[in-house]
Amino acid sequence: MKIVWTKHAEERQREWERKNGITRSEIEDLLKSPQQVVSGDMDVLVAQSKREKGLLRVAYKDIEYGKKILTIYWTTKTEKYWKEKDNEDKV
């Protein structure tokens, strides 16, 4: 699977690396094997995994030959974004 980074996603990753030590390879690993994938707005999917006391989220779109990362962020609002099994979006 090919992973394409937008300029915005690269900038956000660098910011989060400075703040929380989130590396580019960690983002790509999450995208390849997320704990959960939920639907976002406008056909965007969000791969997410719990990390430390929060949630690492990677917004992306499926493209012909892989995935295109739109943005990434880490949040402490796990309960807002994490979907429990019975309510989980089927993607």
Encode pLDDT of 8-65 as tens digits.
Answer: 999 999 999 999 999 999 999 999 999 999 998 888 999 999 988 999 999 999 999 9
Integer Cα distance of 17 and 77 in angstroms: 19
Domain that holds residue 15: 2-78
Residue 87 within a domain: no
What CATH number has the domain bearing residue 59?
Answer: 3.30.2310.20
Residue 90 within a domain: no
Residue 34 within a domain: yes
Integer Cα distance of 65 and 25 in angstroms: 19
pTM to 2 decimal places: 0.87
Query: How many domains are there within the chain?
Result: 1
Element (H, E) at 28: helix 24-32
pLDDT in tens, 63-84: 999 999 999 999 999 999 998 8
Integer Cα distance of 85 and 91 in angstroms: 13
